[in-house]
């Protein structure tokens, strides 16, 4: 769809929300792969998003999760003397009192207040930013540690069921609908050779060794708003995938994205490696943010969370490549394959540094 057309539709959707002030320019915003996001100029400013219905097939459940969690967070923030308008998202309701608006095309739109004087980064620019993001995600989990996770909708069934993801991957290889499998045999073999790790975390959860938590499930650096003055991580955003899950998944997703020396889609793998200093920095910040809310087993399994999440994401990128790039947005030919290969490189680096990763976690846990 042309930008002019989708902006026109965004403006039409805005008119159905209960907002303040006059609306100014509306233009694309951010770098997300899934939803279409726009900044709405005015006083105050807003963010409006068109939700991806092919991924979020039950958008109202997504928004019920978000409103439930943000309402809970606001109460915690108020009690702590914080700023609830900046430290968590504020959902704007439609004129019908709903957290979303469905237009005549069947698209669902939702709005938030813009968090001012803060920004997010697509890649680690300073160590301090990465550390602050770690504290913010750890604090997010801590604040929600007494939220009844089982009451949340599982809006994407089996989102981090790595074994189920692996079965989908195998079917994609077998079907080979785009005829691409013959050119990625090494990549396919890489994931098949490590299939045993797909069961590790799920089995521990089933045995009660890893507790069910409210998890973000997309803990990339660019989902933290960093205050422009203090440099502190103030708000966790992009709550679409807030669901019941495992704390080690959230930790692991941050590591595979933020502790890499290269971009997620870097074609030159010589630029991609696991930065052990950044791994240590993030581990320290994350555990500080958690403030003792994790069990000993959860802490011990943090390195495995990093490995499993990196493996899983790489496998998902390869699956999408084999299926025709229908899930993750691509802006150039082969982008999902490049994304897959960076994750493979990181998994290999983790395997080479495995004992050091475990040692770092132990040392950080002892110092918090």
> CB–CB of 259/278 below 8 Å?
yes
- The predicted pLDDT at position 65 comes to 97
Last residue of a domain, one of 78, 111, 144: 111
Residue 132 and residue 74 in one domain: no
Q: Is residue 180 part of a domain?
A: yes
Does 119 map to a domain? no
Range of the domain at 289: 127-367
User: What pLDDT score was predicted for residue 2?
Assistant: 55
Distances (CA, A) of 200 to 204, 206, 210, 298: 6, 10, 11, 13
Same-domain check for residues 342 and 237: yes
Bond from prior residue into 337 cis (ω within 30 degrees of 0):
no
* pLDDT score recorded for residue 220: 86
d(CA 278, CA 70): 29
Q: Is 122 inside any structural domain?
A: no
Is there a domain that residue 36 lies in?
Answer: yes
By the 8 A CB rule, do 219 and 254 touch? yes
| CATH code for position 261 | 3.90.1200.10
Is residue 118 domain-resident?
no
Same domain, yes or no, for 208 and 61? no
User: Is residue 151 located within the same domain as residue 107?
Assistant: no
Phi-psi region of 145 (alpha: psi -120 to 50; beta: other; left: phi over 0): alpha
CA 361, CA 165: separation in Å to the nearest integer?
27
Q: Write down which residue in 64, 85, 111 finishes a domain.
A: 111
81 and 134 inside one domain: no
Both 252 and 302 in a single domain? yes
Looking at the domain assignment, is residue 278 inside a domain? yes
Q: Are residues 140 and 28 part of one domain?
A: no
- On whether both 101 and 171 belong to a single domain, the answer is no
81 and 147 in a single domain? The answer is: no
Does 121 fall in a domain? no
CA distances to 33, 40, 164, 224, 238 from 218, in Å: 12, 24, 18, 11, 8
**Domain C-terminal end among 111, 139, 168:** 111
Per-residue CA distances from 270 to 179, 196, 273 (Å): 28, 27, 8
> Are 62 and 152 members of one domain?
no
Q: From CA 302, how far away is CA 169, in angstroms rounded?
A: 25
Is residue 30 domain-resident?
yes
Same domain, 303 and 196: yes
CATH of the domain at 28: 3.30.200
Number of domains in the chain: 2
182 SS3 class = helix
pLDDT average per 10 residues of sequence, the chain (368 residues): 79 93 87 84 95 90 97 97 96 96 94 94 83 96 96 89 96 98 98 97 96 94 92 94 96 93 95 97 97 97 98 98 91 96 98 98 95
Q: What is the pLDDT of residue 111?
A: 97
Residue 33, pLDDT score: 65
Q: Are residues 197 and 309 in the same domain?
A: yes
């Amino acid at each position: 769809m042309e930008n002019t057309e989708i902006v026109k539709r965004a403006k039409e959707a805005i008119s159905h929300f209960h907002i303040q002030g006059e609306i100014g320019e509306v233009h694309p915003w951010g770098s997300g792969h899934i939803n279409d996001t726009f900044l709405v100029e005015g006083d105050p400013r807003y963010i409006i998003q068109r939700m991806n219905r092919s991924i979020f097939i039950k958008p109202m459940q997504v928004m019920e999760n978000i409103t439930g969690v943000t309402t809970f967070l606001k109460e915690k923030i108020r009690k702590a003397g914080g700023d609830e308008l900046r430290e968590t998202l504020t959902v704007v309701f439609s004129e019908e009192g709903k957290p979303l608006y469905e237009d005549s095309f069947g698209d669902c739109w939702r709005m938030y207040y813009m968090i001012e004087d803060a920004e997010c980064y697509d890649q680690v620019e300073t160590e301090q930013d990465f550390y602050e993001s770690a504290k913010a995600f750890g604090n997010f989990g801590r604040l929600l540690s007494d939220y009844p996770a089982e009451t949340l909708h599982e809006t994407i069934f089996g989102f981090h069921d790595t074994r189920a993801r692996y079965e989908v991957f195998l079917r994609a290889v077998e079907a080979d609908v785009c005829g691409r499998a013959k050119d990625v045999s090494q990549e396919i073999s890489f994931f098949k050779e490590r299939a045993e790790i797909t069961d590790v975390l799920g089995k521990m959860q089933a045995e009660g060794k890893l507790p069910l938590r409210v998890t973000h499930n997309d803990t990339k650096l660019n989902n933290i708003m960093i205050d422009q003055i203090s440099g502190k991580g103030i708000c966790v955003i992009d709550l679409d995938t807030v669901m019941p899950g495992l704390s080690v998944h959230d930790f692991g997703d941050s590591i595979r994205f933020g502790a890499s020396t290269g971009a997620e889609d870097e074609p030159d793998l010589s630029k991609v490696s696991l930065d052990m200093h950044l791994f240590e920095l993030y581990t320290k910040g994350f555990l500080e943010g958690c403030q003792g809310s994790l069990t000993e087993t959860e802490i011990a399994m943090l390195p495995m969370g990093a490995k499993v999440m990196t493996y899983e994401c790489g496998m998902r990128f390869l699956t999408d490549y084999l299926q025709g790039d229908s899930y993750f947005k691509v802006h150039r030919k082969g982008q999902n394959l490049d994304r897959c290969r960076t994750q493979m490189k990181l998994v290999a680096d983790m395997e080479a540094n495995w004992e050091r990763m475990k040692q770092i976690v132990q040392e950080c846990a002892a110092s918090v």
